[in-house]
Amino acid sequence: MRWTRICRETKEISRLWSWWSIALWTTALLLPVSLYGQTVTVTGSVEITKVHPSQKHTSDGVVVVWLTPLAAAEPAVPALLAPPKRRFTLVQKNKTFTPHVLVVTVGSEVDFPNKDPFFHNAFSLFEGKRFDLGLYESGSTRSSRFDRPGISYLFCNIHPEMSAVIIALDTPYYATSISGGEITIPNVPVGKYTVHVWSEGASADVLKSLSRPVVVSNDSSSIGKLLVPNNTSFPLTHKNKYGRDYESPTPQGQEYIKP
């Protein structure tokens, strides 16, 4: 009878241990999900500062800020899903690209409609995506897919005054500065990231120096104020897509007259 009681108690202990093990493993599995399910809105501000006394002080330039998860960080950020692929538009009108700065996610396609009454030829042969849309007429559209991260500087092969920048990112956590320099990046999972900054008036070395690690949490969701030196002299000159100087334009450009 004593042996029977011992066996019964042993089975009870075994049953309780089994339930405890299941509960422990369930908690361990669900804890990362609960942790990674927490998202916050990251805020901050940017200010473009002049480097040379002759420069005009400005805070109106567009600054792009984005976050990329730190590799092997603890606590880690869950592996990024592929950023959503979208379709964007960069309009050519009045010999101007609009918007001047466009941020897209990797894999997205950008349409370049020609809304001027003359030909355009958008191209980018520098960093980032290299492409040449060729010469195309008023009212038509050509497109290019940005399939890898990078910064592309765009020009028109006919009109040297036209320029734009397309920034392709492999993260959904980014924002462009609004009036006053405020930055807001919503729905960022808690974790460790690297802050990256881009501004057209800053050199590559300056932009690299502005990158830094940050910890995003419920108690710390601000990246503070970023001072971005404007150390590039404008206007910058560039060649056409053949690497040669632009020819003197006609008063009205190459006008396209529909038959």
Per-residue pLDDT of the chain (259 residues; tens, 9 = 90+): 554 554 555 555 455 444 444 343 333 333 343 345 689 999 999 998 877 655 554 445 799 999 999 865 444 455 555 667 789 999 999 999 999 999 999 999 999 999 999 999 999 987 789 999 999 999 999 999 999 999 999 999 999 999 999 999 999 999 999 878 999 999 999 999 999 999 988 888 889 999 999 999 999 899 999 999 887 654 467 899 999 999 876 544 444 444 4
**Among candidate residues 34, 50, 72, the one with its CA nearest the CA of residue 189:** 34
Q: 36 burial class (0-12, 13-18, 19+ CB within 10 angstroms)? A: middle
**Among candidate residues 149, 184, 185, the one with its CA nearest the CA of residue 166:** 149
> Domain residues of the chain, as ranges?
36-80+173-235, 83-170
Q: Which string of b and e fits 233-247 if b means at least 16 CB within 10 Å?
A: eeeeeeebbeeeebe
Rounded-to-integer distance, Cα 251 and Cα 259, Å: 22
Phi first, then psi, for residue 116 (nearest 5°) are: -100, 160
Q: Which CATH class is domain 83-170?
A: mainly beta
CATH code given to domain 36-80+173-235:
2.60.40.10
What residue type is 117 in one-letter code?
P
Same CATH fold assignment for domains 36-80+173-235 and 83-170? yes
